[in-house]
A = this chain, B = another copy of it.
Amino acid sequence: MKIEDSDKLILITNDDGLYAAGLKVLASVMEEFGKVVIISATESRSGMSQALTVKEPLRVKLLEETESRRIYACSGTPTDGVKLAHNQLLERKPDILVSGINHGSNASVSVLYSGTMAAAIEGCLYGITSVGFSLNSFSPTADFSVCADYIRKVMKILDGSPLPQGICLNVNIPAIPVDQIKGMRLCRQAMGNWQEEFEKRKDPMGRTYYWLTGYFQNSEPEATDTDEWALENGYVSVVPISADMTAYNYIDKLKSKL
């Protein structure tokens, strides 16, 4: 694949791995917009957040190359993959980075744990317009094709309006028939947390181990301006996410104490 200056160069990644159904849908939509470079792990890297691989070296393999597409397998985390692509593999800075389509919602505090969203945050730190897409379904037979039209809509909004450095988009799509989706809704991240219910088991040697399970609890179910509300009410939620985590609204309160 030859990358010309006039090409729109699109970097694609995810945390569900190269063989995930969501990645296939995302890549096929993005090929309508430009030349695509896909980088991901062969296995899933869910819940990896913005983790970096610092104790082991990284391996990369070019799996496929056509005139419009290149696919790399990368041994590391989604964030490692973005760094490697941006710094070592690509001839130039990508025009856009898209991550997903994640198998499961990344609304509310899930943005903090998500490898898919971490890849988008990583992209925006380098000034690449970056978007993470997620489908609100953990079903093994989830239909990712409902996302296609909304991915196109987001691309049209961003066309000619790149995002500023340090800001990316978190787009969550409800898993309902496409004609029942009510449209896109600009939201803020709902406050909430995961209520963990570890499963405590014994291994065959009699030793205890734990599996992380749990359910999400929305701390503000009445608020109608959150991503959780939008998803529950049939809207595609769009939240601008900031890599600047400063709690500006709390600085004044701390001032009097320091």
Q: Report A202-220 CB contacts with B as 1/0, cut-off 8 Å.
A: 0000011111100000010
Given A165-B219, A186-B258: A210 and B88 within 8 A (CB)? yes
Binds B, one of A30-38, A92-100, A108-116: A108-116
**CB contact list, A39-63 vs B, under 8 A:** 44, 46-55, 57-60
Interface residue? A21 (CB, 8 A)? no
Given A50-B113, A113-B51: A196 and B87 within 8 A (CB)? yes
By a CB distance below 8 angstroms, the chain B residues around A219 are 165
Bound-state CA distance A11–B132 (Å) is 34
Bound-state CA distance A6–B61 (Å) is 58
Given A212-B83, A245-B241: A48 and B47 within 8 A (CB)? no
Q: Which of B55, B188, B198 contacts A87 (CB 8 A)?
A: B198
Q: Report A171-203 CB contacts with B as 1/0, cut-off 8 Å.
A: 000000000000011101101010011101100
Interface residue? A2 (CB, 8 A)? no
Bound-state CA distance A10–B105 (Å) is 33
Bound-state CA distance A209–B74 (Å) is 11
- B113 engages A157 (CB within 8 Å): no
Bound-state CA distance A55–B47 (Å) is 9
Closest 10 CB pairs of A and B: A242-B247, A47-B52, A49-B49, A57-B209, A240-B247, A49-B50, A188-B246, A125-B193, A51-B51, A240-B250
Residue contacts A-B, CB under 8 angstroms, 17 given: A47-B52, A51-B51, A52-B113, A57-B211, A58-B211, A59-B207, A80-B212, A83-B198, A88-B210, A112-B118, A112-B243, A161-B257, A191-B243, A191-B244, A239-B246, A240-B254, A241-B245
Give me the interface of A with B, judged by CB distance under 8 Å: 44, 46-55, 57-60, 79-80, 83-84, 86-88, 109, 111-113, 118, 121, 125-126, 157, 161, 163-167, 184-186, 188-189, 191, 193, 196-198, 200-201, 207-212, 219, 238-251, 254-255, 257-258
